[in-house]
Amino acid sequence: MSKVAALEKRPGFSRRGPVVLLIMDGVGFGKYAEGDAVKAARTETLDRLFATCPWTALKAHGTAVGLPSDADMGNSEVGHNAMGCGRVFAQGAKLVDQSIETGAMFSGRTWQDLIANVRKNNGTLHFLGLLSDGNVHSNISHLKAMVARAKADGVRRVRVHALLDGRDVGETSALEYFDPFEAYLAELSDDSFDARIASGGGRMVITMDRYNANWEMVRRGWDIHVHGEGRQFSSAHEAIRTLRAETGAIDQDLPGFVIAENGKPVGPVLDGDSFILFNFRGDRAIEISRAFDEKGLDTFDRGRIPDVMYAGMMEYDGDLHIPSRYLVQPPAIDRTLAEYLCATGLRQFSISETQKFGHVTYFFNGNKSGKFDGNLEQYVEIPSDIVPFEQRPWMKCAEIADRLIAEIESGKWDFFKLNFPNGDMVGHTGVFQAVVCSMEAMDIQIGRIARAVEKAGGILLITADHGNSDDMYEHTKTGEVKKKADGTPCAKTSHSLNPVPFIVYDPCYAGEYDRELNKGLGITSVAATCMEMLGYIAPDFYDKSIVNFN
């Protein structure tokens, strides 16, 4: 039973065909000409739509999507939350900041239980997560605050299992975080407190898989973090330097490593220990959480399973309650677009490939993994390739378009939402040529979808969740491209702070609304706009529609 009422019909506006919301993940309006793979690509479809259709730019980062400040880049999780719920909710980083600042985290039951468990068993408090200040999955400041508080609370031994970023921060910036952090731990350590980094590895090699795409990543992380099984080094600094020299890989792709003394790992996870995953974002935290929390998990052989008290920074899946313990309450997102459309009896079809399937379902629906109405909704996942994305930059956009067009032609659905991951997933590789290729491949499929929408008498809305492919080079404060020693540009693998497009392609337009779209809005306005273009009046508490009806 839906918790919301049916939407009120807007008099005098309807279309024969469906409304299609097409999300170009990681595609924004670039600030710099150099390094903008979107501009560099030959995109005849998008060029034509920009020249002939109403369009505007939307904010997709910082406070516009519930992050702490406008210095914080947007990301796919909060972006799809924002588009799906129609207004701003405080998001992961901001919630954790507030919990630490007020002391609520440390006075909460979960923290108290974790500390009591360690003290009772003379055990180790372990921390696992992404060691950077990217503020997309984690923030190193949160970890430092928790380690300091653990010492104050009488914990005697801390081990940190530190994943390298190189994706939401500079591609080879790891030592800018690891070296000062190791110094921080050394300064905290004394005769009564021993804190060290115990293991690590690149985020795209170990631990941080999502959407069940590659459980082998999780197995590698489990063996390294839990069992201390992996290539041994005397320090994280030595590991990173050595592995970079041997592989030539950027941080996110470095192999896993274990810190050892006299041939023995310094931080295996043992019975009686407590373990905290300090990442706050859910998608890449669920599988490793299941490995700790789920007794019957059979996706890989865990070997010895230590009897530990495990907690996540947040509840990563509110429906499946993963994990069972968590430190900070996630945003309670309700009254989403999908729920309203179900209450109104509208039929919805959602599709993407594995890498972004959860974004057009779970995240778009307000961190809800199930359907609001199984009779009105269908979710389709196209399996992603398990190869480096720069080797298949077109990804699965053609297959997504194939299925979507067939469903449009069926006439069964009122509303579609789809995500093309190309701009984000290929953008994170830092390979400029591959990103240009990914944009051109996506543009071809957008052209096919636009023709199907026109034939069906529908409306196509094109937007994005954040920028990435629009900003592929590192720039100085004066706007110059940073160069490597060989003179080539320094690749940027993180998201941008740039606004994103919103295009209205409505072949049956007959003057029902103003072609001049509202300016200065954020992507939270996408939800109200979808409702309006479906012929309904959005709730008054939703952020303003991008389209003004006459």
Amino acid 167 reads R
Is 550 exposed, middle or buried (CB count within 10 Å of its CB: 0-12, 13-18, 19+)?
Answer: exposed
CA atoms within 13 A of residue 424's CA, in its CB half-sphere? 24
**Reduced to 3 states, what is the DSSP secondary structure of residue 44?**
helix
Question: Which of the following is catalytic: 2, 14, 69, 76?
Answer: 76
Per-residue H/E/C for 94-131? HHHHHHHHHCHHHHCHHHHHHHHHHHHHCCCEEEEEEC
- Please report, for residues 259, 476, 505, the alpha-carbon distance to residue 48 in angstroms, rounded to integers and kept in the order given: 55, 33, 11
CA-CA distance, 185 to 286, in Å (whole number)? 28
Using DSSP's 3-state secondary structure scheme, residue 149 falls into helix
Q: Which residues pair with 199 in a beta bridge?
A: 161, 258
Query: Which among 20, 14, 54, 11 has a CA at the least distance from the CA of 454?
Result: 20
What is residue 546's three-state secondary structure? Answer: coil
- Rounded CA-CA distance 205/202 in Å is 5
- Residues 76 and 364 sit within 8 Å (Cβ to Cβ): no
Catalytic residue flag (residue 76): yes
The set of catalytic residues is 76
